[in-house]
């Protein structure tokens, strides 16, 4: 009987894990449906293993009531504590992931700071080259553009409606 009650409690534990993970990750409808399917398979597997251990899969009516009793006791006694622990674990994992990400970003931040002076020199130099080219080629290019427009207008005069 202890194995049957434990089966119900194990299903409750897995359900709390599934429910808390879904809340923490804010699953959508499709993810929730896939999660429901996975939860059902895991719960069926757990029940199978516990019932195999309890009475070698001989179906007795007490396994239904024992499982329901285990689930009821789990939800009344342990569920709130376990959910609280799950959310604490999720926050801890999230904090560790954030810390690891910051450590991984650190060399790139240093590189970005070190690249500021060469980038400034390169930017200044490219602007200098642009201004020199503009001084030498700006007026001839503008005159050439005007000549091309006048040539175009002479070859293809605008149409008048009439």
The pLDDT value given to residue 19: 93
Residues in the chain with pLDDT < 70?
162
- Please give the Cα distance from 83 to 25 (Å, whole number): 14
The pLDDT value given to residue 51: 87
For 85, 87, 88, 97, the CA distances from 92, given in Å and listed in that order, are 10, 9, 6, 9
**Minimal CA–CA distance to 46: which of 17, 86, 73, 83?**
17
The pLDDT value given to residue 54: 85
The pLDDT value given to residue 52: 86
The pLDDT value given to residue 72: 94
Helices 79-114 and 2-25, packing angle to 10 deg: 40
The pLDDT value given to residue 57: 75
CA trace torsion 89, 92, 97, 99 (10° rounding): -170
- Please give the Cα distance from 143 to 40 (Å, whole number): 78
Q: Which two tokens stand for residue 129?
A: 């080259």
The pLDDT value given to residue 162: 54
Q: Which two tokens stand for residue 144?
A: 């050439």
């Amino acid at each position: 009987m202890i194995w049957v009650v434990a089966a119900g409690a194990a299903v409750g534990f897995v359900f709390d894990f599934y429910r808390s993970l879904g809340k923490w990750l804010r699953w959508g409808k499709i993810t929730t449906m896939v999660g429901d399917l996975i939860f059902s398979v895991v719960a069926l597997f757990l029940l199978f293993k516990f019932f195999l251990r309890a009475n070698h899969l001989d179906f007795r009516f007490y396994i239904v009531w024992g499982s329901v009793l285990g689930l009821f006791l789990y939800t009344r006694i342990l569920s709130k504590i376990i959910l609280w622990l799950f959310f604490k674990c999720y926050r801890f994992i999230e904090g560790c992931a954030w810390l690891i990400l910051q450590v991984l970003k650190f060399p790139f931040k240093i590189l970005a700071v070190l690249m500021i002076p060469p980038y400034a020199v390169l930017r200044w130099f490219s602007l200098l080259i642009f201004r020199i080219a503009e001084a030498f080629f700006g007026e001839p290019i503008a005159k050439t553009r005007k000549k091309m427009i006048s040539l175009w207008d002479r070859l293809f005069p605008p149409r008048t409606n009439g």
